[in-house]
Amino acid sequence: MEEQTKISFEAPRGMRDFYPEDMVWRNRVFDAFRAAGEAAGFEPYDACVVESYELLARKAGEEVGEQIYHFRDKSDRHIALRAEMTPTLARMVAQRQGSLAFPIKWTTIAQCFRYERMTKGRKREHYQWNCDIVGEESVLAEVEVLGAACDALRRMGLTNADFRVHVSNRALLSELLAASGIPAALHAQVFLALDKRGKMPDEEIAAMLRDGGVDDAGVKATFAIMDLKTLDAAEALAGAGSPAVAQLRELFRLAGIAGFAECLEFDISVIRGLSYYTGIVFECFDAQREFRAIFGGGRYDNLLTTIGGDPATAVGLGFGDVVVTELLKARLGADAAAPKRGVYVGWMFPEQRDAALALAAKLRAEGEIVNLALRKAKPKQFFSRAGASSCAKAVFLGPDDVAAGRAKLKDLATREETPLEL
Ligand code: HAM
């Protein structure tokens, strides 16, 4: 007999199985994503997780580019699993650029794959809620995107005190670097190096900067810029009339009107690891800074032209499911995923089974959620199962109930009983 190799029951490393208890959390998070997107007028869109590698291939030095899963299909096409949605969005917009009525506001929940080093909050597969506005220059676009993200966090059960959105502006950083004598051609390299801050020692970042062509004085000036604590201090260095400072001030003012200014703070150290951002950038963290970034995004005005489309301004965010679920479990408690709802219907002997099925059908037709017991049970056994289930109420049919044509609907939390006609 051929020997069978034993297959591991674990999902491939970094990929996730969602058991029913995990789906409860995922649904809570996805429901909030969808509701917040809809409430802010974003239209849903979607695309296949498989993309052409050419679209996703990136400049060297960018982490995401190195993490792409890619392979050749049977016709030797170079194919990749998307690591993020933004290139796909840009491709879809470019394809219809002549006919879309800009500005457009689009949203999706995209499964993404990145061959990452696995740490807390980082998997090789995650779902990422995206909200993007294409074709709007004004900072109101940033406000709408950020407002939707804060709304989603509140819908999940968090309060404004639980998270902070750190906001900066790459254009401001460019102005500051230029004022310090670092030529514009080097800025992209400087951004990628600075994004590594906190993840590697400053000496290594200084070495990266020098390798990128920044001289010693430039390295010193760059670190001094990163130490600026307030927007006023940044403005003093950039000079009065800085357009990038004005954009940030307008963002904070509008967020005040929209009611979420208290969630925002200026933080020059927010760079973002993706090279396509051109303006305001932001990253959200839990207030205690225990977890990795909850969401991140910003303005990317050149991506459409980079992939060969017509020029179009754009701003958007990516909000993953992994970190926020960890945060929700920590802040709300592991049992808080879903409130109990629906009715558990049970029966004692095979003679009551049909009546139980008929009751389940009637309640379902009335719009109730019903879990019908598949096997007979003694009352004690049934109620202990019902108590452990996701149902809020239970009905148990014994011979007497069916004979009388009447049963009791029991509230499992209060133990209160109400009569129910069969
Ligand atoms: P990103 O910062 O690379 O941005 O990812 C956005 C969010 O996705 C992160 O803040 C995190 O919540 C989640 N995320 C990313 N990688 C992983 C991972 N390996 N495991 C778990 N969660 C992860 C982007 O992807 C941009 N395309 C966002 C964007 C949209 N910018 C404009 N529009």
β strands within 272-313, DSSP E: 280-286, 295-299
Q: Which residues of 160-271 form beta strands (DSSP E)?
A: 163-169, 264-266
Tell me phi and psi for residue 281, to 5 degrees. -130, 150
Is 134 within 8 Å of 106 (Cβ atoms)? yes
From residue 236, give the alpha-carbon distance in Å to each of 176, 179, 230, 239, 240. 10, 11, 10, 5, 7
Nearest to 183 by CA among 214, 223, 217, 208: 214
| Mutate which of 105, 109, 128 for ligand 1 pocket (most atoms within 8 A of beta carbon) | 128
Sign (positive or negative) of CA dihedral 187, 188, 190, 195: positive
Residue of minimum CA distance from atom 32 in ligand 1:
316
- State the amino acid at position 30 in one-letter form: F
Of all protein residues, the one whose alpha carbon is nearest to atom 15 of ligand 1 is 320
Residue to substitute in 55, 84, 123 for testing ligand 1 pocket (most ligand atoms within 8 angstroms of CB) = 84
**Ligand 1 pocket by C-beta < 6 Å: which residues?**
84, 86, 114, 116, 122-123, 126, 128, 130, 132, 274, 293-297, 300, 316-320, 322-323
Quote the tokens at residue 224.
Answer: 């001094």
pLDDT confidence band for 7 (50 / 70 / 90)? confident
Does the pLDDT of residue 59 top 70, yes or no? no
Task: Identify the three-state secondary structure at position 232.
Answer: helix
pLDDT in tens, 92-108: 999 999 999 999 999 99
pTM of this structure: 0.94
User: In this predicted model, what pLDDT tens digit does every residue of 172-211 receive, in sequence order?
Assistant: 999 999 999 999 999 988 998 899 888 899 999 999 999 9
The single residue listed with the structure tokens 């819908």 is: 155
Pairing type for strands 70-72 and 78-81 reads antiparallel
Compute the distance between CA of residue 370 and CA of residue 367 in angstroms, rounded to an integer.
9
Angle separating helix axes 187-195 and 170-179, nearest 10 degrees: 120
Alpha carbon distance 395, 67 (integer Å) = 53
Distance CA 279, CA 313 (A): 10
The mean pLDDT of the chain is 95
